[in-house]
């Protein structure tokens, strides 16, 4: 292994970081003009580019689509053979080309403009053919590529990706795109589960909830814990309001004090005013509460404090929220 490998790797990262930082200092009214076109778009944001720019474009289109801006990618070569029909006059086209002179791209863009679609160019060459035909030009130039030959697209593709992210995030913020919106775009993964799964979706309810009355004995509570296998039982008043909780830990501590199992009322050994959670809360909130207070169970109560369910850490594991 060459001793210069780490030096070169660090140099690559530094060059790419500097390229992205330079973009921030160059952002101006043209960025706002591009954002305005995207926000006013009645169709889709169609991203296009060839080669490495096309690969970056695919990711930018995906980011737009997942953050509230309907978007898709069109390959310029395929556009010349029929896919141009995917673009309408209601769309905004975001075209990526570092040189701004890619033949496949330049061929289709006059036709795109003829359709009436608006065109945003993201290029490293403000004097290029692409820049000349665009409605708005975003300056994505870099001082040099991170490649030692200054040839392979490296810093330029990183800068284009970052600029695309900046557009997508600015559009997200302007649209008021929130957590629930994001979850609806990501229903299949961990993010979606954390943002869409509520306590009511995973809690135990009905006869599966371990519960005894305030008048129950210590022995009654132990039997309920053993029967429902949640490591705890809720203790409720006559109107089913949560009065306390009795856990495995409380059980061990009580036995250590040598109490009379049959004579001791559960109210004497339970934990009063226990932490609880509402059924409409996100399951992720239950996870945070459990982690913060180092507990593995939570009673679930309605707005009036009445017991409606119970939640165990294993329920959250099964729901893949953890």
Could you report the per-residue pLDDT of 235-294, keeping only the tens digit for each? Answer: 999 999 999 999 988 888 887 777 777 788 999 889 999 999 999 998 889 999 999 999
Residue 26 maps to a domain: yes
Tell me which of 177, 207, 242 is where a domain ends: 177
CB 164, CB 121: distance < 8 Å: no
Same-domain status, 107 and 168:
yes
Same-domain status, 251 and 168:
no
CB 282, CB 199: distance < 8 Å: yes
Same-domain status, 85 and 233:
no
CATH number, domain containing residue 252:
3.10.580.10
Tokens at residue 113, please? 């403009």
Residue 280 maps to a domain: yes
CA atoms within 13 A on the CB side of 119: 24
**SS3 label, residue 54:** helix
Same-domain status, 41 and 159:
yes
pLDDT at res. 73: 97
Beta partners for residue 122, in sequence order: 96, 138
Residue 227 maps to a domain: yes
> What is the helix (H) or strand (E) element at residue 94, kind and residue range?
strand 92-97
Tell me which of 147, 177, 207 is where a domain ends: 177
Tokens at residue 66, please? 């997942």
Beta partners for residue 312, in sequence order: 297
- The span from the CA of 81 to the CA of 83, in Å, is 6
Helix 155-175 with 51-66: angle, nearest 10 deg: 20
pLDDT at res. 194: 67
Residue 167 maps to a domain: yes
Q: How many other CB atoms are found less than 10 A from the CB of residue 79?
A: 22
- Total of domains in the chain: 2
CB 143, CB 20: distance < 8 Å: no
Which stretches of the chain are DSSP H helices? Answer: 5-26, 29-40, 51-66, 76-79, 103-115, 129-133, 155-175, 179-185, 190-196, 199-202, 218-228, 248-256, 283-293, 313-318
Same-domain status, 94 and 223:
no
Residue 182 maps to a domain: no
Listed residue (18, 260, 46) closest to 158, CA to CA: 18
Residue 186 maps to a domain: no
Same-domain status, 141 and 234:
no
Pair type for strands 297-301 and 118-123 = unpaired
Residue 183 maps to a domain: no
CA dist list (Å): 16 to 95, 159, 161, 162: 22, 8, 11, 11
- The span from the CA of 53 to the CA of 307, in Å, is 57
CB 92, CB 39: distance < 8 Å: no
pLDDT at res. 191: 64
Same-domain status, 33 and 161:
yes
C-alpha radius of gyration, the chain, whole number:
30
pLDDT at res. 196: 75
Pair type for strands 71-74 and 92-97 = unpaired
Same-domain status, 273 and 168:
no
User: CA 282: distance to chain centroid?
Assistant: 15
- The span from the CA of 115 to the CA of 100, in Å, is 21
CB 120, CB 138: distance < 8 Å: yes
Q: How many other CB atoms are found less than 10 A from the CB of residue 209?
A: 21
pLDDT at res. 260: 78
Same-domain status, 115 and 203:
no
CATH number, domain containing residue 132:
3.40.50.10490
pLDDT at res. 188: 58
Residue 188 maps to a domain: no
Pair type for strands 232-236 and 242-247 = antiparallel
Model confidence, pTM? 0.69
Same-domain status, 159 and 307:
no
Same-domain status, 163 and 233:
no
In the chain (322 residues long), the average pLDDT of successive 10-residue segments reads: 82 95 94 97 97 96 93 95 93 97 94 95 96 96 91 94 97 85 62 77 94 92 92 94 92 79 87 94 91 92 96 87 72
Q: Residue 274 sits in which domain range?
A: 199-318
- The span from the CA of 21 to the CA of 13, in Å, is 12
Same-domain status, 149 and 229:
no
CB 47, CB 71: distance < 8 Å: yes
Listed residue (170, 297, 289) closest to 233, CA to CA: 297
């Amino acid at each position: 292994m060459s001793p210069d490998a780490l030096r070169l790797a660090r140099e690559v990262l530094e060059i790419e970081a500097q390229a992205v930082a330079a973009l921030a200092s160059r952002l101006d009214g043209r960025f706002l003009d591009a954002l305005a076109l995207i926000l006013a778009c009645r169709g889709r944001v169609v991203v296009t580019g060839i080669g490495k720019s096309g690969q970056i474009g695919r990711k930018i289109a995906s980011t737009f689509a997942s953050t509230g801006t309907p978007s898709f990618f069109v390959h310029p070569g395929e556009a010349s053979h029929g896919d141009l029909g995917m673009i309408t006059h209601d769309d905004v086209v975001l075209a990526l080309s570092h040189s701004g002179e890619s033949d496949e791209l330049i061929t289709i863009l006059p036709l795109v403009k003829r359709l009436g679609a608006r065109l945003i160019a993201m290029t490293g060459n403000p004097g290029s053919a692409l820049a000349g035909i665009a409605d708005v030009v975003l300056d994505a130039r870099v001082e040099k590529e991170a490649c030692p030959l200054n040839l392979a697209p490296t810093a330029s593709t990183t800068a284009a990706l970052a600029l695309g992210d900046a557009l997508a995030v600015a559009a997200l913020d302007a649209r008021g795109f929130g957590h629930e919106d994001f979850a609806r775009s990501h229903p299949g993964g961990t993010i979606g589960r954390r943002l869409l799964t509520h306590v009511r979706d995973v809690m135990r309810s009905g006869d599966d909830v371990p519960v005894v009355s305030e008048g129950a004995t210590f022995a009654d509570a132990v039997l309920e814990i053993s029967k429902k296998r949640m490591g705890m039982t809720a203790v409720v008043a006559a109107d089913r309001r949560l009065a306390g909780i009795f856990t495995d830990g409380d059980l061990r501590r009580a036995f250590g004090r040598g109490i009379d199992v049959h004579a001791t009322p559960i109210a004497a050994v339970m934990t009063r005013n226990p932490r609880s959670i509402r059924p409409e809360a996100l399951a992720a909130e239950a996870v945070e509460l459990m982690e913060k207070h180092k507990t593995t169970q939570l009673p679930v109560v309605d707005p009036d404090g009445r017991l409606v369910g119970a939640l165990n850490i294993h329920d959250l594991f099964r729901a893949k929220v953890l």
